[in-house]
Amino acid sequence: MTDSDVTAILKHPAVVSAYKSLTNNTRSYLNQSQQLLLKKAFHFGAKAHCKQFRRSGEPYITHPLTVATILSELNFDINTLCAAILHDTIEDTEVTERELVKKFNKTVAYLVQAITKLDKLKFRNLQEAQAESFVKMLFAMAEDVRVIIIKLADRLHNMRTIGAMSESSRKRIARETLEVFAPIAERLGLTKIQNEMQDHAFFALHPNVAEKISNNVREISGNRKQAITKIHKKIVKALLHSHLTGEVDGRQKSLYSIYNKQKKKNLSFEQIHDVFGIRVIVKTVQDCYIALGVIHGLYAPREHSFKDYIAIPKSNGYQSLHTLVTGPFGLAIEIQIRTVEMDKVCESGVAAHWMYKTDNSDTSTRLNLARNWLGSLLNLQKETGSSLEFYEDMKRDLITDEIYVFTPRGKIIQLPINATVLDFAFSIHTNIGIKAVSSKVNDEVAPLKQKLKTGQTISIITGDEISLKTEWLQHVTTSKARTAIRHSLKQIKDEDAIFVGHKMIDRALDTYGYSFESLDKRSIKRVLKYYKKDSMDELLKSFAFAELLPSIAARKMLPLLKQRKIDKTYKPKESFAITGKEGSIINYPQCCEPIVNDEVIGYLSHAKGIVVHRKNCANLEELEKSPERMVKMKWDLEKNMMFQTTLKMDVINKQGVLAKLASVVADNEGNIERFEQVDRDGNYSGLEFHLSIANTEKLENILYKLRQLPEVLKASRKEFK
């Protein structure tokens, strides 16, 4: 590389144009010394990227210059702009972090290093690479939010030039932009960046649909703009009459927002009423509500169309009043009303912290909201099993359509749309979530899986013990709830496994006249080393999950002299007693539906633990081919438990027969989970009731009572084959 090469790059028309745009934007707010530092970054970056060109054929430096220009439109500080110009130098050139510290400063060097991609690590697949890159970026964001803002500007320019990429790359990058980067921009309140990203991605993924919506907008723009102009003049006049000073502007909804609304609500283009709208900007919050009254005096508001984001801001700090009114020609027009301060923050989000450095603004609040959100993501990431799992959860959590619900004391809780009672419980506290047993929504009893709506008041009824269930994962929307459930389930399963593993090895040792407590430390240490386990808890869990067989491990735990003399035939003295304290490590399969008092036998299954089968189960013939995994079992419950079973009935079709059958089951301590009509022949039906019941005695009692009914021709417990 020669000086003439660098000079040629600096004089390239595309480079000159890009640098001119940047300096034009920054001239109004950067001082002379800052302008010189910006020029220094430009020359340093141009030299570093001298041999690199974009697919379009332009020198590579045009890309970082444009990224810096995007940020200069938001009046970002000199360190951010320099980092934007240099953001690819560590990754793509021989420039080092130390060199950037020396040439510029620690802040610039840190920002550049923080956004450098994970190009040196090896991953199993592209998804994992994306997930790991995002987690790294997340940690950097938590230190300085400007990291993600530079990344967003970088992605925006890539989206502007996405046409130069292959079709597969276009679709992959566009999809990632819609799923991750645009929602992050929205969370940070960077509306302009968000909208432009989404529209570019929309055209890349669905070019025909995007073109059609664009044409539709052009076709209706004449009529709608005429209506907007009329409303505009009328509102300005009415505000002046009410002694309010403010600005009234028109606005247009982005193409992707139109598409998204059509898709979510299954609407035609003609049914989208807020393609064009009006924004009213006044001085104070009080003026906002006065202006709302003035506007409603001019135009009738549509029912259920008013939203007060001033009293209850969105999670990203957005504040405004929204109302949908019927304007000229019967058209529905959305009007947004906000203060000057709110408008600044609405348009620039966290960037307002750098744009408007005044004590009376809400810029610090917006920045704190962003930092709190990033902090909550970091906490979730620590509790999540893998980066990929966290990445997928986070994408779901970025959906910003929100509902607003209340605690019994009137505290507002913001949740994503489709959130359930369980999401609400976990948003209050993890302990409330894992101990939730029931709830009330607006003072009416509601299931924990019920979806919530804005304005509802929810109270959670908790029990003394953990009531967590695996199926709860299917009924939550927030990553906080999902992560807490997974984490708690693992803890419970581990605790259950240690308890069952202890019980199993004690039973095995008892066969040889020993107990777990009587073993010396040397024997335990020897066995841990043999099985390559770090702790006794890990060894006990491996028994419960059938990774190791306690019958074999027990012999190895005995003193060496004793091992040589023992009978190799393993015949446990006692059956394994089912007490009910074993939790998730004892499983009752659907193949035979065992319940208390059935004769049962256990099978040590990998990962599942002990699977309890009835002795007449058809599956036992295959399982008994591994006799070392069979466990003699007996019932010895110490706590009340309910078990699943199925009843088969042939009944006469009569009005009210189902109610009669259900009444018999309920009156005799059975609980119907669901029922099915499996057969129907004229006046007769074959029914199956899936019940939860305590034991065979109660089951036989229900069957006896059912057989007494004249409508019941036959009733029995279903036998599985």
Predicted local distance difference test score (pLDDT) of residue 282:
93
What are the angstrom distances between the C-alpha of 206 and each of 102, 165, 266, 596? 47, 16, 17, 58
d(CA 109, CA 87): 9
Is residue 565 predicted with pLDDT exceeding 70? no
pLDDT at res. 123: 42
For 224, the 3-state DSSP assignment is: helix
The pLDDT of residue 142 is 58
| Residues acting as catalytic residues | 91-92
Query: Which residue has 């306690």 as its token pair?
Result: 550
Q: What's the confidence (pLDDT) of residue 159? A: 92
What is the structure's pLDDT at 70? 93
Nearest to 706 by CA among 643, 645, 649, 642: 649
Q: Compute how many other C-beta atoms are within 10 angstroms of the C-beta atom of residue 678.
A: 11
- For residue 627, the tally of other CB atoms under 10 A from its CB is 8
370 or 227: whose pLDDT is higher?
227
**Average pLDDT estimate for 229-233:** 83
Q: At residue 555, does pLDDT exceed 90?
A: no
Kindly state the DSSP code that residue 618 receives in the 8-state scheme.
T
635, pLDDT greater than 90: yes
The pTM of the full predicted model, rounded to 2 decimals, is 0.60
Q: Choose which CATH entry (3.30.565.10, 1.10.3210.10, 2.60.40.3080, 3.40.50.1820) describes domain 3-207.
A: 1.10.3210.10
Q: Interior CA angle at 328 toward 327 and 332, to 5°? A: 35
3-state secondary structure 313-371: CCCCCCCCEEEEEECHHHCEEEEEEEEHHHHHHHHHHHHHHHHCCCCCCCHHHHHHHHH
SS3 279: strand
Can you give the pLDDT at residue 508?
86
- Backbone dihedral angles phi then psi of residue 454, each to the nearest 5 degrees: -55, 135
Write out pLDDT tens, residues 294-309: 999 898 888 878 888 8
Q: Is 578 helix (H, G, I), strand (E, B) or coil?
A: strand
Neighbouring-strand partners of residue 691: 645, 672
DSSP 617: -
How many CB atoms lie under 10 A from the CB of residue 275? 22
Res. 561: pLDDT tops 60: no
Question: What HEC string does 626-639 produce?
Answer: CHHHEEEEEECCCC
Q: Please state, for a pLDDT cut of 90, what percent of the chain lies above it.
A: 25
Are 6 and 46 in contact by the 8 Å Cβ rule? The answer is yes
User: 25-39, 218-232, 344-358: lowest mean pLDDT where?
Assistant: 344-358
* DSSP tag of 271: G
Rounded to an integer, the average pLDDT of 280-298 is 91
pLDDT at residue 453 above 80? yes
Q: Tell me the average pLDDT of the chain.
A: 83
Helices and strands, counts by H and E, the chain: 30, 19
Q: Which CATH fold would you assign to the domain 643-717?
A: Alpha-Beta Plaits (3.30.70)
Q: What is d(CA 419, CA 399) in angstroms, rounded to the nearest whole number?
A: 11
Q: Where are the domains of the chain?
A: 3-207, 208-361, 487-635, 643-717
Q: Which of 433-442, 535-544, 573-582, 687-696 has the lowest mean pLDDT?
A: 573-582
Residues in the chain: 721
Fold of 208-361: Beta Polymerase; domain 2 (3.30.460)
Q: What is the Cα–Cα distance from 665 to 600, expressed in whole angstroms?
A: 25
pLDDT confidence of residue 568 = 58
According to DSSP, the β-strands at 684-693 and 643-652 are antiparallel
Question: pLDDT per residue over 122-148, tens digit each?
Answer: 444 556 656 666 666 666 555 677 888
Look at residue 121 in the predicted model and tell me its pLDDT: 39
675-715 confidence digits (pLDDT tens): 888 777 778 889 999 999 999 999 999 999 999 999 999 99
What digits encode the pLDDT tens for the residues 391-402?
666 666 565 567
pLDDT band at residue 337 using 50, 70 and 90 as cut-offs:
very high
In the predicted structure, residue 550 carries a pLDDT above the cut 50: yes
Say whether pLDDT at 655 is over 80: yes
What does the pLDDT read at residue 395? Answer: 60
The rounded distance, in Å, linking the Cα atoms of 628 and 580 is: 24
What pLDDT shows up at residue 402? 74
Backbone φ and ψ for 93, nearest 5 degrees, come out as: -130, -175
